[in-house]
Amino acid sequence: MVLAENKHALRFEPADYWKGRKSERNRTVKMRKEICDVLVVGASLGGVQAARAAAESGASVLLCEETEWIGGQLTSQAVPPDEHPWIETTGATRSYREYREKVRSYYRSLPQASDAMRCAKEFCPGNSWVSRIAHEPKVAHDILLDSLRPWMECGKLKLLTHTVACSANVDRDRIVDAISVNL
């Protein structure tokens, strides 16, 4: 996978992309080459976990996110996880269970945490009826970033924020290269 194969500046003008955005419509964009085994576009909760799993399996990964924060709606819009009623006992991946435990561990470690919270195996930090693990966006962002950090430090994963994938060249069912723009 090659991201932004063209090394030279180019005039980038996707149809209606810049409409309503702060950036100028006809600006010159400098391109650089990034080579990776796996390109993940969008650092939502699922995108972060996909990038982490690919890096854990040995692939070189490039994770692109349009905003400054990873975590998708969980962090950028403060939308709590949409979970089914049995989430505490079944129907979750290992990585999602680890994430949920890290959220609870963070709140247990706060000086103002009650003894009941510190002793409870399961509790909702946000005391919400919408989700069993409602919590602050910054907490989610930091936990997700920490989960990627080992792979970023060893060079297996690169996170590009303020970056949008805008086109891809495809050969049958394989993406050959993609072009992104840094906002």
Q: What is the pLDDT of residue 142?
A: 97
Confidence grade of residue 7 (pLDDT, cut at 50, 70, 90): very low
Give the C-alpha distances (Å, rounded to integers) separating 39 from 14, 53, 72, 134, 147: 20, 12, 17, 30, 18
- Smallest CA-to-CA distance from 35 within 63, 5, 55, 8 is with 5
Extract the tokens encoding 26. Answer: 């006809």
Regarding predicted confidence, which is higher, 182 or 16? 182
- Smallest CA-to-CA distance from 146 within 179, 178, 98 is with 98
DSSP 81: P
Residue 177 has φ and ψ, to the nearest 5°, of -155, 165
Residue 38 has pLDDT above 80, yes or no: yes
Q: What is the pLDDT of residue 21?
A: 55
| 64-112 residue pLDDT tens | 999 999 999 999 888 888 888 898 889 998 999 999 999 999 999 999 9
Residue 148 has pLDDT above 60, yes or no: yes
Across the chain, what does the average pLDDT equal?
A: 83
Site of tokens 């394989």: 174
CB neighbour class for 89 (10 Å; exposed up to 12, middle 13-18, buried from 19): exposed
